[in-house]
Amino acid sequence: MSELTRTGLEPLNTIGNETARVDAVERVTGQAKYTRDWKLPGMLYAKVLRSPHPHARIVSIDTTEAAALPGVRSIITHEDAQVVWGSGSVNGGRQYNDPTKDATLHRRYIFNNPVRFVGDSVAAVAATDRHIAAQALTLIKVEYEELPFVLEPEESLADGAPQIWPEGNLCPDFRGELNPMVSDIGDVEAGFEEADRVFEERYETSFIHNAQMEPRCALAHWQRDKLVLYTPSQGISNCRHDTARDLGLEDHQVQVITKYMGGGFGNKNQNQDADLVAATLSRRAGVPVMLEYSRREDWLGVHGRWPTVQNYKIGVKEDGTVTAMELRGYSGMGPYRKNSGGISGMDAYGCPNRYREIHPVYTNRTTSGNFRAPSEPHGFYGVENMMDEVAYQIGMDPVEFTKINMRRPTEEQQFTNYSLEEVIDDGVERFNWQARRKVVPGSDDGPIKRGAGFSFMMFRAGVGTSSAIVRVNAREEYTLYVGVTDIGPGAKTTMGMIAAEALNVPLSQVEVVWGDTDRCPYSVGESGSRTTIMTGIAVVEAVQDLQRQIADGGMPSGSDVLIASASPTPTTDGKTRQCFGAHFVEVEVDTRVGSTRILKYTAVHESGRIINPTTARDQIRGATLQGIGQALHENLLYDPKTGQPLTPGYYRGRHLTHKDIPDIDVHFIEVDDGYGPFGAKTAGESGIILAPAAVANAVANATGKRMTSLPITRDKILGAMA
């Protein structure tokens, strides 16, 4: 069994106590209503026709036969439904920036011509029954002119590569200019001259689909010029704004309802083309339309983590001091730039000379976008394997090497608090690092080899704007209105606990209202691990406002209520605010068959004060397991000859199942830095950042062979050992 331990702070009245979700009963009895569970009178069902080609020009579309099929009510194609999907492609991947969206060079429509990947949307049909809609798709005649395609980012930038957009295949930056993302700190050339030794290596990571259990769907219903949109969103406020923008409406003309949603991990952050397609079909048909994606459509038509190539060059002195770090990277974004394409990790080091140049590149694969800690797990895998290798090459313990080189507070850049060293030391002791790691990698005799790996991180925990409303009646029943949707981490419960603590009442006295933009105020959305800290602060401030009202005029009587709200924009006084973590893992590699088994896993995190230890524990465990899947299994493979995706879906994606799961010991070091609600920091994304790096380092320690590409599949281990 896995262990959960905590040190540092005592539990408060509500916060810090293991608490069942406020909606747990709905979730275990089937009462929880997800988008596909809604049924409106007269509702139609819709399906999308998708491109079978990786790159092709649509010469003609004939929908005559499909339209004549009894039961078909509406068909839309690129010819008659030219709706820009603003967050589907945006300069620089700046997903929350309206002016950038307006100026975006390479716009994505709900239907595009040419189509640019297998799965690009071509047409959509609404019919009285989902089977009729599916049948109608087969009756749409599309004539394609196939175009040359390119799948790999470096090939995409080569001379003579097929051009996916007229300006070429390097994604434009937020200004619309064709430049890579460059960060140049200090003097990297001088740093390399200062070094005793210089190491270079190339790392690669694969496309990982978010693969949330609930496939994308949307139910659109117009009431005159107002759109009611039931959709699985991680951020109802952002989804509403995006949808209104794309349809030429004001925000108040769109109501987004997300009562329950089945996961997202970053691919339900904003609006999706499904929302716009359902809305367009519904408006034309004059009745509600439920659009359903199949699992395969979700895999190809939504997005996953961008695949990367990372070329590192590290200069180091014999004493272990790193003098220069360089990364030249490529991120495959698919043919539209939804998000940044970032490769993070080098920022966790204090080396004064760092040069990073990342090329986000168009390819004819499916679109890449945010997946839990969008820029981190692949980047930390690359840089921390690079550094782990350097440490062993110069004969140092990677933990000691890290302590010499990790980023620390400086006069110029202070932290709200800094516990990275404590987190690492704690993990070293709990895991028994010295006993488990092989001083000489691969030194176990025989074909079954054990070894241990380590990784560390810091991750943003900055605060920002969000809103909350709280109401009390004469019976001292409190109602909290927050625009969260609870994608899995337990935001509703967390918000309720923060309110209960601030009010000094039991959680049972607080009802949480969520998931409806007409009833709840703005929330940042459950992305970027921001809800607990940002909406949480708004909850605290709304409660403070209510308490002032009560102090002034007393509790309400009769049927009166008191209502308070807050939309704070807190700061951290110029300090950087980070959560910290270190993971330690022991693996056993059977070099005869190439399999990797996890024997022990210890995750130590400082995420400030833990609001609900039960759900925080499972954020770390679940994210860690997703990271292990990324390290060992997951990859959307393409056939280079045909451009066809080969492994969409759970079975071919070889996702972890119950039987693959090791125990994950979680330890929280709790700190209240005086910022965030009761000192809470970020937790939801932090676990996944560390797992690929730690597992890959452990495999290297066990086998003595550095695995320079993810996933570390059996064939790669067999190849390395041959």
Partner 1 sequence: MRNKDKRDNRSDLDSNIDSVVKYADPTQGLDPQQQSRRDFLEGSGAAVVAGAGISALGISTAQAQSSNSAARTAISVTVNGIQHSLEVADHWTLAELLRDELDLTGTKIGCNRSECGACTVLMDGQPIYSCSQLAVWANGAIIQTVEGLAVNGELSPVQEAFVVNNGPQCGFCTPGQLMTATALLNNNPSPTADEVKDAMVGNLCRCSNYNSIVEAVVMAGEEGGVA
Cα separations (Å) of 611 from 15, 131, 497?
5, 46, 7
Stretch that binds partner 1, among 36-44, 397-405, 502-510, 514-522 (CB under 8 A): 36-44
Residue 205 interacting with partner 1 (CB under 8 A): no
**Three-state DSSP class for 479?**
strand
270-295: burial string, b at 16+ Cβ within 10 Å, e else: bbbbbbbbbbbbbbbbebbbbbbbbe
Q: How far is the CB of 348 from partner 1 (least distance, A)?
A: 24
Q: Shortest Cβ distance from residue 613 to partner 1 (Å)?
A: 10
Q: Would you say 38 or 199 has its CB closer to partner 1?
A: 38
**Can residue 24 be called a binding residue for partner 1 (CB under 8 A)?**
yes
Q: Are 515 and 45 in contact (CB under 8 A)?
A: no
Give dist(CA 273, CA 524) in Å, integer: 21
Between residues 207 and 222, which has the closer beta carbon with respect to partner 1? Answer: 207
Give least dist CB 142 to partner 1, A.
Answer: 12
Cβ 526 to partner 1, closest distance in Å? 11
Ramachandran bin of 211, using left for φ above 0, alpha for ψ from -120 to 50, beta for the remaining angles: left
Site for partner 1 in 474-493 (CB under 8 A): 487-490
From 105, 188, 254, 261, residue interacting with partner 1 (rule: CB under 8 A): 261
DSSP code for 663: P
Distance separating alpha carbons of residues 421 and 436, to the nearest angstrom:
20
Of the CA atoms within 13 Å of residue 673, those in its CB half-sphere come to: 27
The verdict on 345 binding partner 1 (CB under 8 A) reads no
Closest CB 586 distance from partner 1, rounded Å: 17
* SS3 assignment, position 20: coil
In 3D space, the residue among 352, 319, 346 whose CA is nearest the CA of residue 191 turns out to be 352
Give Cα 374 distance to the centre of its chain: 5
Contact of 130 with 45, CB cutoff 8 Å: yes
Q: Is 28 in the site for partner 1 (CB under 8 A)?
A: yes
Taking the CB of residue 554, how many other CB atoms lie within 10 A of it?
9
495: left (phi over 0), alpha (psi -120 to 50) or beta: alpha
Q: Which residues pair with 199 in a beta bridge?
A: 314
Number of chain residues interacting with partner 1 (CB under 8 A): 78
Residue span 100-129 as binding mask against partner 1, x where in contact by CB under 8 A, dash where not = ------------------xx---------x
User: Applying CB under 8 A, which of residues 141, 175, 202, 295 lies at the interface with partner 1?
Assistant: 295
Output 68 or 593, the one with its CB closest to partner 1.
68
According to CB under 8 A, which one of 7, 31, 179, 571 is a site residue for partner 1?
A: 31
Q: Choose between 33 and 716: whose C-beta lies nearer to partner 1.
A: 33
Stretch that binds partner 1, among 43-51, 98-106, 197-205, 546-554 (CB under 8 A): 43-51
307 contacts partner 1 (rule: CB under 8 A): no
Question: Closest CB to partner 1 among 577 and 633?
Answer: 633
Minimum Å gap between C-beta 631 and partner 1 is 13
Q: What would the two tokens of residue 700 be?
A: 């290297």
Binding to partner 1 by CB under 8 A, coded x per residue (else -) over 532-571, reads ----------------------------------------
Task: Scan residues 631-650 and list those touching partner 1 (CB under 8 A).
Answer: 644, 649-650
Residue 483 CA to residue 517 CA, distance in Å, equals: 7
Contact 305, 371 (CB under 8 A): yes
Of 207-236, which residues contact partner 1 (CB under 8 A)? 210-215
Cβ 675 to partner 1 shortest distance, Å: 27
Chain residues 657-686 in contact with partner 1, contact rule CB under 8 A: 657-659, 661, 663-664
Q: Which two tokens stand for residue 412?
A: 């110029």
The residues in 70-99 that bind partner 1, with binding defined as CB under 8 A, are 70-71
Of residues 403 and 655, the one with the C-beta less far from partner 1: 655
Q: In what order do the strands lie in the sheet with 44-50?
A: 72-77, 121-127, 44-50, 289-292, 217-223, 226-230, 254-257
Examine residue 33 and tell whether it contacts partner 1 (CB under 8 A): yes
- Say how far apart CA 695 and CA 628 lie, in whole Å: 7
151 vs 363: CA distance, rounded Å? 5
The amino acid sitting at 60 is: S
Instruction: Name the residue nearer to partner 1 (CB basis): 72 or 346.
Output: 72
Query: Residue from 27, 197, 519, 548 that binds partner 1 (CB under 8 A)?
Result: 27
Binds partner 1 by CB under 8 A, chosen from 152, 426, 516, 618: 618
Residue 488 CB, shortest distance to partner 1, in Å, is 4
In angstroms, give the least distance from the CB of 575 to partner 1: 32
Q: Of residues 5, 13, 97, 294, which one binds partner 1 by CB under 8 A?
A: 294
Best CA proximity match to 509, nearest among 517, 501, 520: 501
Pair type for strands 665-669 and 4-7: parallel
Instruction: Find the distance separating the first CA and the last CA of the chain, reported in whole Å.
Output: 36
Within residues 376-395, the interface with partner 1 by CB under 8 A covers none
Question: In the complex with partner 1, which residue's Cβ is closer, 623 or 699?
Answer: 623
Q: Which region, left, alpha or beta, applies to residue 22 given φ > 0 means left and ψ of -120 to 50 means alpha?
A: alpha
Cβ 508 to partner 1, closest distance in Å?
Answer: 14
Return the amino acid letter for 553.
G
Q: Name the residue type at position 127.
A: A
Q: Which residues of 501-522 are buried (b: 16+ CB within 10 A; e: fewer)?
A: bbbebebeebebebbbbeebbb
Helix, coil or strand: residue 222: strand
Does the protein bind partner 1 through residue 265 (CB under 8 A)? Answer: yes
What letter does residue 498 receive in the DSSP assignment?
Answer: H
Core vs surface per residue 164-178: b (16+ CB within 10 A) or e: bbeeebbbbbbeeee
Within positions 578 to 617, which residues make up the interface with partner 1, using CB under 8 A? 614-615, 617
Q: Does 17 bind partner 1 (CB under 8 A)?
A: no
Nearer to partner 1, 132 or 469 (CB): 132
- CB–CB of 263/213 below 8 Å? yes
Residue of 6, 655, 705, 716 that binds partner 1 (CB under 8 A): 655
692 near 568, Cβ under 8 Å? no
Q: Report the residue number, 39 or 224, with the smaller CB distance to partner 1.
A: 39
Please confirm whether the linkage preceding 335 is cis (ω < 30° from 0): no
CB of 94 to partner 1, least distance (A): 27
Q: Which stretch binds partner 1 (CB under 8 A): 162-170, 289-297, 546-554, 602-610?
A: 289-297
Regarding 621 and contact with partner 1 (CB under 8 A), the answer is yes
Q: Does 312 bind partner 1 (CB under 8 A)?
A: no
By CB under 8 A, name the one of 12, 69, 147, 157 that touches partner 1.
69
Residues 126-145 that bind partner 1 (CB under 8 A): 129, 131-132, 134-139
Residue 433 C-beta: closest distance to partner 1, Å: 22
Least Cβ distance, residue 485 to partner 1 (angstroms): 10
Q: At closest approach, how far in Å is the CB of 300 from partner 1? A: 8
32/157 with CB nearer partner 1: 32
Tokens read off for 558: 């009769």
Candidate ranges 34-42, 151-159, 222-230, 564-572; the one touching partner 1 (CB under 8 A)? 34-42
Strands 121-127 and 44-50: antiparallel
Residue 409 touching partner 1 (CB under 8 A):
no
* Gap between the Cα atoms of 183 and 169, Å rounded: 21
